[in-house]
Amino acid sequence: MSVNGVPATLGQSVTEADDIRLDGQLIETQRVEAVTFALYKPRGYVTTARDEYGRKNVLDAMPDVPGLHPVGRLDRDSEGLLLLTTDGDLTQTLTHPSFGHEKAYRAWTEGEPDEVALDALVTGVKLDDGVAQASHASAALGGAHVVLTEGRKRQVRRMLEAVGHPVTRLLRYRVGGLWLGDLDVGEYRELGRRELQDLLDPAATPPQVRDRQWERIRRRWG
């Protein structure tokens, strides 16, 4: 195979403007619009593209769309908002630490974190892979709300355990400016242009819209 007269390489990106040939025959290309979904990931599902242990995969809960992949991770024991997309640029934007997109969680814990514990989450707690900080932490019935701008493996769980309150249930309800909304466990919806804009630019979302979403979360999960 060649691209613009040069032998193609594994993983090479192409556009519809490129001259792509297989055994000298021109291959017609056309642009396929990227799609992005919001899924309420159930507990027990893994977010890896493939799982050698045969466990339930989030792609099993989605329509069969070529190139669809989860954006980042949400561990097997956690639930809530997970994005899946065919847009590699969107994945890069949402997962690269330099962009600092917020992720908000509702945690239920053993014992209720007091102000000292909540302040420690924001000030920073030492984990085995370095100090971790929440951008915001507040009390909730039987646990806490925690907002992060980074995404280390099982970070919320490890942070709360470090301040003496192991997590018994963990739900993510917001990524950037996109909220879980009224999705039920296992349900998904395709995101429209406005939701993608809110996702990437939360500051552009009208305050009254954010307030309604937050109130919806508080009524539903405390």
Query: Annotated active-site positions, please?
Result: 75
Classify residue 44 as left (phi > 0), alpha (psi -120 to 50) or beta.
left
How buried is residue 153: exposed, middle or buried, by Cβ count under 10 Å (0-12/13-18/19+)?
Answer: exposed
Residue with tokens 């992720």: 103
β-sheet bridge partners, residue 106: 145, 171
Nearest 5°: phi and psi at 147?
Answer: -120, 130
Length of the chain as a residue count = 222
E-strand spans in the chain? 2-3, 6-7, 20-22, 25-26, 36-41, 69-70, 79-85, 103-109, 125-127, 130-132, 136-140, 143-148, 167-175, 178-179, 188-190
Contact of 8 with 15, CB cutoff 8 Å: no
CA dist., res. 85 & res. 87, Å (int)? 5
